[in-house]
Amino acid sequence: MGRRVLITGLGTFWGGRVAQALEADPDVDVIIGLDRYEPTVPLERTEYVRSDESYSILSRIVKAARIDTIVHTFLVVDSTQMRSRTMHEINTIGTMNLFAAASAPGSTVRDVVVKSSTLVYGSDPRDPVWFDEETRRSAPPKSVVEQTLLEVEGYVRDFAVDNPHVSVTVLRFSNVLGPDIDTPLSKLLALPLVPSIFGFDPRLQLVHETDVIRAILLALERNLSGVYNVAGDGLLPWSEITAICGKRNLPLPPYGLGLATRPLQRLGLVDLPPELLALLRHGRGVDNRRLKAAGFEYRYTSAGAVADFVQSLRVRGIEPAAAYQYERDVEQFFRHSPSIVRDQP
């Protein structure tokens, strides 16, 4: 019997991508996606269920559809997208509700994959060059997104302890770059002058969006459990990342940085949340050897991810964006109408 998968955040970039990738897998029987918003990518057989992050109908869905796998991609790591309040609701409260539903009596869930972030390690001058999965962060979190992600991982840990029969995988992704995804970092690199902090040239580790999806698939395929860092090989200085993008740095003053960036933020030119400023000062490296030992082979190094990103940056605005509009009736027709001839060769 194949897998029956539930994806949170189907309307987000990652939820949609994971669903697409899973659709191609014949071993996956059922894919159900939850989100408040409609999917933004075309999907063949994924069922979309509108639901907010309180997941009030989740235990019913799990029971009714005999869900055995949950892929929790609906975690906000980009704090520029929303207010801290919303982020707290989605990350902390959402995860709490999700795992409460997944551990309800009689739950059929056997596999959980959580898409976390290396933001949980923070970015501090006292950091080691490489964080491995067990290294504790050097300083308490200062930004809301880090705080909520730590709380999320706390709930995941509790769930794993309470449900030893479920294999729980936490994947901590470093900063993602790629042709299609927009992150605070990629937005900085798209600017004509890339902000940096004067006197600092932190080393960053990047992961390509393709490797993110592949890592999630690998976690499902190999039934991994535990925590894994996902980041391409190599630590790159920010100046070098900028150079690969063919840009120049705009150094911001190292002291009184808040005063300097606030006008820029007000004008909507750049969005520099505190966790990004810390990263631009101290950088972050994570040890990716555990996932490699589990059989993962990276497609892109950190530098490779930047190089691939910059190619898409050059055609951004020229290449027509793939416009897709979710039409409920059309999707229902294709999935459920008796007129559709199924089981085609």
Give residues in contact with another protein (CB under 8 A).
17, 20-21, 24-27, 41-42, 125-130, 132, 135, 178-180, 197-201, 203, 209-210, 213-214, 217-218, 221, 234-237, 239-240, 243-244, 254, 282, 285, 295-301, 303-304, 306-308, 311-312, 322, 324
d(C-alpha 123, C-alpha 146), whole Å: 10
Q: In whole angstroms, how close is the CB of 35 to another protein at the nearest point?
A: 17
328: number of Cβ within 10 Å: 10
Using only the alpha carbons of the chain, give its radius of gyration. 20
Cβ closest to another protein, residue 84 vs residue 239: 239
Q: In whole angstroms, how close is the CB of 210 to another protein at the nearest point?
A: 5
Cβ closest to another protein, residue 103 vs residue 312: 312
Cβ closest to another protein, residue 152 vs residue 236: 236
> Helix, strand, or coil here: 342?
coil
CB 159 within 8 A of CB 317: no
- H helices, E strands: number in the chain: 13, 13
Q: In whole angstroms, how close is the CB of 229 to another protein at the nearest point?
A: 14
Residue that the structure tokens 């063919």 belong to = 246
Q: In whole angstroms, how close is the CB of 173 to another protein at the nearest point?
A: 16
Cβ closest to another protein, residue 164 vs residue 320: 320
Q: In the chain, where do the E strands start and end?
A: 3-8, 28-35, 47-50, 69-72, 111-117, 167-173, 175-177, 193-197, 203-204, 206-208, 226-230, 236-237, 248-252
Q: In whole angstroms, how close is the CB of 330 to another protein at the nearest point?
A: 17
Cβ closest to another protein, residue 109 vs residue 217: 217
